[in-house]
A and B are shown apart, each in its own frame.
Chain A
């Protein structure tokens, strides 16, 4: 395993309270693997990704668990050690490429600076590598030394991908890489990521609320709710043959181009409040199938059909496909 996350928990101190944004999350990532983290805003998917690179805000900390990168625990690593890992081993594409680039510096300079910070290369060689990556992501290399405002949204996103790949990392974290883009540009970025994965031998962790985009880009998927992973497995197994009521509700609220038209199902209630979480299953207040047990006792994550992991007391009994839903 390239990356193994074991029982990771992240806490934030807010005033006198300690809020648990990520709760006991485990997943692993092999070489040339891809994992999608999906869920609504506030479910902890971005926090999980930031924790992998130790980029949490100053009031946040990893309170439990391990992040093993080739057997080395990043959760316990020192600042200097983690600096070496960032960009060389794990790099990130931040949400909203429109603002991720420095507007007053040429894009080429931003890429070259990142490379020369981590590797001892001449400026000439750095430019050559940046030009190669630019062409690889589909931008003419003559545009390397332009400013971000001269680029369209899709091009900025591709430039940010080139920036993330300049030190040839093993793992690429993509935080909502397609959310700000149009359908066509979105598809181009997904296809690009898949192509780069083969060429540069990288593993991808993609974070998005767009389940259909993740289903397309990632081999496996983890559905998060209230800081916990509710269901995990191969993408199509999780999204089409749901076992968890939350996954089922999430997929049902998504309008599709090809599904038969019917009224869309809204999930009642709002996102969970981290300061006031239910004692039992975090989804129980909004769950249509919740029983008395769900409000009282937290379900454990366990294996269900199709080799999926699911966190629901009734995962075996609830078969959404049988009911025609």
Chain B
């Protein structure tokens, strides 16, 4: 069981610039993730949804210590990620947190057999005392992800497997160290539709049976709705809305969430009266002042262009960062 707390977490990248420009502090800064806070409960599946470039993958990488944290803090199970230093602590950390990458065609070493791929984390983290124990854990994990009979699959190479089977190997590699928390970055976007369901069902089963917490990073709202307990909508480095899937689809409050839901193509709904969409996501290099969505927002008023809206709890467990719905500002918003 694990929980995760983000507190004003930020990531800034300094753009490439000349030496003197950097020295004078005038180099451009991309604020990829900007002061996000969130409290994840034990055994939850959280969806992180947003357009490409909104910072969702950067956030995932920070939680894995692949990217350094610029400011703020992230704790997993009470362990502050930025305090993890040195080999011993890193090994402990890697046992807790694992990742599933987007592309199963690129993320598996083509020269290793399935057994070697799945055994590698165990060897690297020195988790097994004997070869027999190693084999036992590999077999157990492969049958967990339904690559059975194990004898048939474990000596194959990745190119001999289909896309869905490869992604199962990638999941087995993450599960073999028995982590408490998995970050899955677009785990099904490279797979065919008919295989996606199998992977999503597998992640759901891992969560229910083993209580593994999952952060699902995706741009597909329908996938997030299917799998997640709660969904975070991200726009240009900011969390704009956090709520459960049903309320997200039925009464989304943030204009950006409403736009996303209205834009998703769907077989079973009438899509003729959609919300109009203007322009493209602004650049994170020079984000708009005030609310970052304000240049595209149909309801934007002066207050939105001046003041950054805070993420506030509008209803129990439904957080929104928008002046239009916030109680304190509704008067101000209506006055103009």
Contact = CB atoms under 8 A, between A and B. Distances in A.
Please indicate whether A and B come from the same complex rather than being unrelated chains. Answer: yes
Interface of A: 40-41, 152-155, 182-188, 190, 209-213, 215-216, 236, 239-240, 249-251, 253-259, 261, 263-267, 270-271
Given A212-B265, A240-B267, A270 B193 contact: no
Contacts of B263: 183-184, 186-187
Contacts of A259: 268
A263 B208 CA distance: 14
B196 interface: yes
Nearest to B224: A255
A183 B198 contact: no
Contact of B226 (A152, A255, A258): A255
Contacts of A185: 51, 280
A258 B249 contact: yes
A257 B260 CA distance: 11
A154 to B, nearest CB: 6
Nearest to B190: A41
Contacts of A265: 197
Interface string B62-101: 0000000000000000000000000000000000000000
B128 interface: no
Contacts of B267: 211-212, 215, 236, 239-240, 251, 254, 256
Interface in B240-280: 245, 249, 259-261, 263-269, 271, 274, 277, 280
Looking at B52, B196, B226, B267, which has the most chain A CB atoms within 10 Å of its CB?
B267
A250 B219 CA distance: 21
B198 A257 contact: no
Interface string B163-204: 111000000000000000000000000001111111011000
Given A155-B280, A212-B265, A270-B162, A257 B194 contact: no
Nearest to A155: B280
Contacts, number: 115
Given A155-B280, A249-B194, A253-B197, A187 B265 contact: yes
Given A155-B280, A209-B192, A256-B222, 14 more contacts: A40-B192, A40-B193, A41-B163, A152-B281, A186-B263, A190-B265, A249-B194, A254-B193, A255-B196, A256-B266, A257-B221, A258-B269, A264-B201, A267-B194
Give 8 nearest A-B pairs by CB, closest first: A264-B197, A267-B194, A266-B198, A255-B222, A266-B197, A212-B265, A187-B263, A182-B51
A183 B260 contact: yes
Contact of A183 (B165, B192, B219): B219
B193 A182 contact: no
B242 to A, nearest CB: 18
Interface in B209-226: 219-223, 225-226
Nearest to B53: A152
Given A182-B52, A183-B260, A265-B197, A257 B266 contact: yes
Interface in B293-335: none
Given A253-B194, A265-B197, A188 B277 contact: yes
A250 B249 contact: no
B266 A212 contact: yes
A57 to B, nearest CB: 20
Contact of B225 (A155, A210, A239, A257): A257
Nearest to A251: B267
A270 B164 CA distance: 8
A216 B265 contact: yes
Contacts of A155: 280
Contacts of B165: 270
A174 to B, nearest CB: 15
A253 B196 contact: yes
Contacts of A210: 265
Contacts of B195: 266-267, 270
A266 B265 contact: no
B214 to A, nearest CB: 16
Looking at A182, A240, A251, A265, which has the most chain B CB atoms within 10 Å of its CB?
A182
A255 B267 CA distance: 11
Contacts of B198: 266
Contacts of A183: 51, 219-221, 260, 263-264
A210 B220 CA distance: 12
A185 B220 CA distance: 13
Contacts of B51: 182-185
Contacts of B266: 212, 256-258
Looking at B196, B197, B221, which has the most chain A CB atoms within 10 Å of its CB?
B197
Contacts of A249: 194
Contacts of B226: 255, 261, 264
A251 B245 CA distance: 21
Nearest to B245: A261
B194 A255 contact: no
Contact of A184 (B245, B249, B260): B260
B56 to A, nearest CB: 11
B271 A216 contact: yes
A257 B261 contact: yes
A182 B263 CA distance: 10
Contacts of A236: 267
Nearest to B259: A184
B3 to A, nearest CB: 25
A270 B195 CA distance: 8
Nearest to B246: A261
Looking at B164, B196, B263, which has the most chain A CB atoms within 10 Å of its CB?
B263
A222 to B, nearest CB: 16
Contacts of B220: 183, 255
Contacts of A182: 51-52, 219
A62 B196 CA distance: 33
19 contacts: A153-B52, A183-B220, A183-B260, A184-B263, A184-B277, A186-B263, A215-B267, A240-B268, A249-B194, A255-B196, A256-B268, A257-B225, A258-B269, A264-B200, A266-B194, A266-B195, A266-B198, A267-B194, A270-B165
A267 B194 CA distance: 5
